[in-house]
Amino acid sequence: MILGMLTALLFAGAMALLFGTNVQKPLDHDEHQFIASAALLAREGLLPYRDYAYFHMPNLLLVYATLFTVTDRLLLAARAFSTLCAALTLGTIFCLAFGLFRERHVLIRFLIAAGSVVFLLTNPLFAYTSGKAWNHDLPVLLTLLAFAFHIHGVQQRGSKRWVFASGLCIGLAVGTRLSFALVVVPFLLTILLLPDRTRRQRLLVLPLSFGLGIVVGLLPALVLFALDPQAFLFGNLGYARYNTIYRQEMGFVEGDVSVIAMTFAGKLKYLARYVISAPGNLLLLLSWVFLALTMNAASLFRRRGPYHLALSLVVLLVPFLLVGSFAPTPVFFQYFYAPVPFLVLGCMYGVANLKERQWKVTWGLVLLVHVVFLAGAYGYKAYEEIATLFSPQEWLVIETHQAGQEIGDLVGQGRVLTLAPLYPLEGGTRIYEEFATGVFAWRVAPFVPEDERRRLGLVSETELPGLLSTSPPDAILAGFESRSEGPFIDYAEANGYQRMELSTGKTLWLLPR
């Protein structure tokens, strides 16, 4: 009873911190693509890749589209889902940590598990990344669940269903964010190198179960690939190359820290200067190196310790996730979130794996207590927005919806040309599917060959007059991407659109009636 009450209080507090903060986080232009594409599917039945350009794997879009069939508060629904995924990530970490140190009193185990939650909750990467309407929270949660299922499965004979469930979660994660594809390798290694399985189990039965799970998890992506392979491949592979070209050709805004992250050496510099240098991240990394690697060096190589298998998988997962974080060019702070929960898990499993050396376990736990307190002291400021939890009128997600309704009242069911499609969609107004990605397709289109642009439905300044001549916009919304909106504003001025300032300070050009 007491344990249940303490756990409920812990997660009620964590959920309040997460939700109260996430409804206030500034809007990132990455969020437009996920929400706009999902709204197009939910409201008009338009599919990504086939009907318009989309530059990510599709699973998150499908989740959001399902949510948008029951609510018109798009940003609120999307961020609430991401917040739920973040909370479930904390819950999974708690359960895994609570399962360790079984020889300790139940309240000690609770405190250890609660400490792991605080450690992750106050981490700068977790605090910054979690809860936004982008594709980071869901694949991290799915990979964490895959870890739990996998460890449970390979530790039991005849447990093909658990290994299948692990593969299913990995397939769903890859179908949400492609950079998670590399984690298949460490999961397979833990199967192939199992010492207590028959050759048939290690090389055939369990790998096939795992692979079948991956295929099932990838089914939505495979179906969309089959509908338009060229557009699918461009959206998930080809776009990245043109985005790099765009950044190289167009230069950078002064103060944009991503400018150094255009080469491998630059990415390493970015990692050191902007990620590892954050006290909370540095504490976590040093703790992982000491507790998971240094104190368990002999165990990792000699297959010793009660949690050797789980610890080995955690240690393998971190570098493979880090490679996925390095894959995009340039890299951004949030890309390095994926390894963070596994760094926390590594610390926990690292201490628990020393069970036969009680003095090391004790000192490891003492060290963890100090690190968690330090992490909390550095990280609590990330949740200062909790003060607005009971003032919904101050939430950014509510203000965004109200801004959309203002546009909807002025435009009605007309179509809005904009690089910020979330706003008109919040008001029930239509957008051009060619701009469902927000600014991203518009930025790279000039660098894509003309015949390929036509095939993929990309619009550059060359194609814009033709598009608008056959389907003129009822309004043009500007003020979000100043470097890219010039042709939109020129069109509005040349065609007599009436300029008006919205309550948000942005500009709406209305077609004369």
* Interval 2-38: pLDDT, tens: 888 888 999 999 999 999 999 999 999 999 999 999 9
Q: Mean of the pLDDT values across residues 372-400? A: 87
Residue 407 in contact with residue 429, Cβ under 8 Å?
Answer: yes
State both tokens at 309: 């298998």
Q: What are phi and psi of 415, to 5 degrees?
A: -115, 135
Q: Mean of the pLDDT values across residues 154-180? A: 91
Residue 184 has pLDDT above 90, yes or no: yes
Structure confidence at residue 254 as a pLDDT band (50, 70, 90): very low
pLDDT of residue 302: 65
Rounded CA-CA distance 351/362 in Å is 9
Residue 154 has pLDDT above 90, yes or no: no
**Angle formed at CA 475 by CA 47 and CA 414, multiple of 5 degrees:** 55
Q: What are phi and psi of 498, to 5 degrees?
A: -90, 125
Residue 180 has pLDDT above 70, yes or no: yes
Highest mean pLDDT among 77-86, 109-118, 270-279: 77-86
Q: Provide the residue type at 28 as one letter.
A: D
Residue 271 in contact with residue 258, Cβ under 8 Å?
Answer: no
Structure confidence at residue 304 as a pLDDT band (50, 70, 90): low
314 vs 193, more confident: 314
Which residues make Cβ contacts (< 8 Å) with residue 452, sequence separation at least 6? 234, 458
Residues comprising the chain, all counted? 513
Residue 458 has pLDDT above 80, yes or no: yes
Give me the residues paired with residue 297 across strands. Answer: none
pLDDT of residue 57: 97
Taking all residues of the chain, what is their mean pLDDT, rounded to a whole number? 90
pLDDT of residue 497: 94
238 vs 299, more confident: 238
Give me the residues paired with residue 477 across strands. Answer: 418, 508
pLDDT of residue 231: 96
Residue 207 in contact with residue 214, Cβ under 8 Å?
Answer: no
Rounded CA-CA distance 234/223 in Å is 16
pLDDT of residue 356: 58
**Which of 26-40, 139-153, 291-305 is the least confident region?**
291-305
Q: Mean of the pLDDT values across residues 470-498? A: 94
Residue 410 in contact with residue 508, Cβ under 8 Å?
Answer: yes
Q: Mean of the pLDDT values across residues 237-264? A: 76
206 vs 73, more confident: 73
Residue 215 has pLDDT above 70, yes or no: yes
State both tokens at 19: 């939700």
**Angle formed at CA 333 by CA 506 and CA 403, multiple of 5 degrees:** 20
Structure confidence at residue 253 as a pLDDT band (50, 70, 90): low
pLDDT of residue 390: 86
Rounded CA-CA distance 299/307 in Å is 9
Residue 113 has pLDDT above 60, yes or no: yes
Percentage of the chain beyond pLDDT 70 is: 95
Q: Are strands 415-418 and 475-478 parallel, antiparallel or unpaired?
A: parallel
CA 465 to chain centroid, in Å, comes to 36
Residue 340 has pLDDT above 90, yes or no: yes
Rounded CA-CA distance 404/406 in Å is 5
Rounded CA-CA distance 495/501 in Å is 18
With CA atoms as reference, report the closest residue to 261 among 279, 280, 285, 244.
244
Rounded CA-CA distance 151/162 in Å is 9
Residue 65 has pLDDT above 80, yes or no: yes
Structure confidence at residue 160 as a pLDDT band (50, 70, 90): confident
Tracing tokens 């692990």 back to the chain, one arrives at 166
152 vs 295, more confident: 152
